[in-house]
Amino acid sequence: MKNHVLWQIALTFASLSLVAMGGANAVVPEIHRQVVGAHGWMNDATFAQLFAIAQAAPGPNILLVSLIGWRVAGMTGLAVATLAMIVPSSVLAFTVGRLVNRLADAPWISLTKAGLVPVAVGLIMAGGMVMARAAVHNLFSLGITIGAAIFVLFSGRNPLWALAGGTIISLLGLWLGLVK
């Protein structure tokens, strides 16, 4: 049974590794679809919580996947999920890195990027929607989400400030009895 779950974890994230354009945020909708929907490993609330914890830690945003692996199958799950997400894309990067030795004059990179960026941005926005659906339960949390979006949009400061601010506002809400 346990091996079965580990195998599913490996398969799920390895297949996402090679389509994660611009990192993990673009594949958040699919991770959510698989983890909450198809496999039923956790509910919306837990997913949103794990996403928040992953954001609070330093490092690449694929840590969400590590955390999901941990939640589903402990330390082994964490290792399997992390490796499944990293290894396929890294092997590709390694291979392409060797093929592309002359980087100073490689117009195909900027052209390919110009084509991939719009799709990636659309997917990241979709990821934000999925996250908001999971994390927003009332007007209070909606306000926090909108506030955080505005913070990123108009301030160049480290997003960690928004994370700290939102957490404090949420605690104030609890203290004042505004939310449960």
Return the residues of window 96-125 that contact another protein according to CB under 8 A.
96-98, 100-106, 109-125
Subset of 21-40 contacting another protein (CB under 8 A): 21-25, 27-30, 33
Count of residues that interact with another protein, criterion CB under 8 A: 111
Q: Does 78 bind another protein (CB under 8 A)?
A: yes
Whole-number Å distance between alpha carbons of 5 and 24: 21
Distances (CA, A) of 29 to 14, 24, 47, 103, 155: 16, 10, 11, 33, 26
Q: Would you mind telling me the total number of residues written for the chain in this entry?
A: 180
Q: Could you tell me if 85 and 64 are in contact, meaning their C-beta atoms sit under 8 angstroms apart?
A: no
- 80 is an interface residue for another protein by CB under 8 A: no
The answer to whether residue 89 forms part of the interface with another protein (CB under 8 A) is yes
Instruction: Copy the structure tokens of residue 160.
Output: 């960690």
Closer to another protein at the Cβ: 7 or 57? 57
Determine, following the binding rule CB under 8 A, whether residue 3 of this chain makes contact with another protein: no
Give, as ranges, the residues between 140 and 159 that touch another protein (CB under 8 A).
Answer: 141-142, 144-153, 158-159
CB of 8 to another protein, least distance (A): 16
Kindly identify the residues of this chain, within the stretch 47-76, that bind another protein according to CB under 8 A: 48-49, 51-63, 66-67, 70-71
Q: What is the DSSP letter of 106?
A: -
Q: How many CB atoms lie within 10 A of CB 26?
A: 23
Between CA 168 and CA 171 the distance in angstroms is 5
Beta carbon of residue 3, minimum distance to another protein (angstroms, whole number): 23
Residue indicated by tokens 């609890």: 174
Which residue, 1 or 96, has its beta carbon nearer to another protein? 96
To another protein, the closest distance from the beta carbon of 137 in angstroms equals 8
For the packed helices 139-154 and 107-135, what is the interaxial angle rounded to 10 degrees?
A: 160
